[in-house]
Amino acid sequence: QQQVKQSPQSLIVQKGGISIINCAYENTAFDYFPWYQQFPGKGPALLIAIRPDVSEKKEGRFTISFNKSAKQFSLHIMDSQPGDSATYFCAASGAAGNKLTFGGGTRVLVKP
């Protein structure tokens, strides 16, 4: 059972544009929602994370928006740069954050 659904599978954005990736979850016990960035040949690296007590969290050009009632959350990459070209994974876990369930990933390509 895929408990975290991620879309789109891939997207192409022009440099300076906004990349938006969406995730939906089913398990209402989830309350920790991180996003990971993965470059080819590397392991996933934590980008930003949110807990459901806030609806938005911003770190630099990266923003998570969270909608608890809809069980959805999204990643916005502002002013996208070619160096942001990577695969992005959303994930979710329970309170302890120790059992992550990952989405299927979104391959982002930023064109110069």
Partner 1 sequence: EAGVVQSPRYKIIEKKQPVAFWCNPISGHNTLYWYRQNLGQGPELLIRYENEEAVDDSQLPKDRFSAERLKGVDSTLKIQPAELGDSAVYLCASSLYGTGVTYEQYFGPGTRLTVT
Minimum CB separation of residue 30 from partner 1 in Å reads 13
By CB under 8 A, name the one of 44, 63, 84, 86 that touches partner 1: 44
Q: What's the CA gap between 110 and 112, in Å, rounded?
A: 6
Helix, strand, coil share of the chain (percent; to 5): 5, 55, 45
Q: How many residues bind partner 1 (CB under 8 A)?
A: 24
- Measured between alpha carbons, how far is residue 59 from residues 13, 26, 41, 73 in Å? 20, 26, 25, 16
Please tell me whether residue 111 binds partner 1 under the rule CB under 8 A. Answer: no
Q: How far is CA 73 from the centre of its chain?
A: 8
Please tell me whether residue 52 binds partner 1 under the rule CB under 8 A. Answer: no
Q: What's the CA gap between 109 and 15, in Å, rounded?
A: 9
Pick 20 or 49: Cβ nearer partner 1 = 49
Please tell me whether residue 23 binds partner 1 under the rule CB under 8 A. Answer: no
Please tell me whether residue 54 binds partner 1 under the rule CB under 8 A. Answer: no
Binding site for partner 1 (CB under 8 A): 4, 6, 32, 34, 36, 41-46, 49, 89, 91, 93, 96-100, 102-105
